[in-house]
């Protein structure tokens, strides 16, 4: 994840938390919340790190998590990124 020009977080768990913190901030600014997320798509560069991503992800959706797809990709838009998350939420 990027904060200005720097990638934030060196591993899957840190980058997952950064993604979800950003999603949370965007949702709150729009008058929504993480509780209103109905679907997430997670893109990872290394499926062997799924557990680290999933453990971090679970903290943001402890009850009734939204539907989720997780896909392994060859690479992401910026060097150093290992995870990207897109979310769909209700207003």
Q: Quick check: 78 pLDDT over 90?
A: no
**Could you tell me the CA-to-CA distances from 24 to 46, 48, 73 in Å, in that order?**
24, 26, 24
- Per-residue pLDDT reduced to its tens digit, 31-51: 999 999 999 999 999 999 999
What's this model's pTM, rounded to 2 decimal places? 0.90
Neighbours of 38 (CB within 10 A): 10
Q: CATH code at 53?
A: 3.30.1330.40
Range of the domain at 72: 2-89
Is residue 63 predicted with pLDDT exceeding 60?
A: yes
Residue 7 phi, psi (nearest 5) = -75, 130
Question: What is residue 9's predicted lDDT score, i.e. its pLDDT?
Answer: 84
Q: How far is CA 23 from CA 26, 48, 72, 74, 86, in A?
A: 5, 24, 20, 23, 8
What pLDDT was estimated at residue 2?
42
Total number of domains constituting the chain: 1
- pLDDT, greater one: 35 or 77: 35
Residues 52 and 12 sit within 8 Å (Cβ to Cβ): yes
């Amino acid at each position: 994840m990027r904060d200005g020009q720097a990638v934030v977080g060196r591993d899957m768990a840190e980058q997952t938390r950064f993604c979800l913190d950003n999603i949370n901030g965007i949702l709150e600014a729009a008058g929504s919340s993480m509780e209103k997320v109905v679907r997430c798509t997670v893109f990872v560069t290394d499926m062997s790190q799924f557990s680290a991503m999933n453990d971090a992800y679970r903290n943001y959706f402890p009850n009734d998590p939204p539907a989720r797809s997780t896909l392994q990709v060859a690479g992401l838009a910026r060097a150093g990124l290992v995870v990207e998350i897109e979310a769909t939420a209700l207003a």
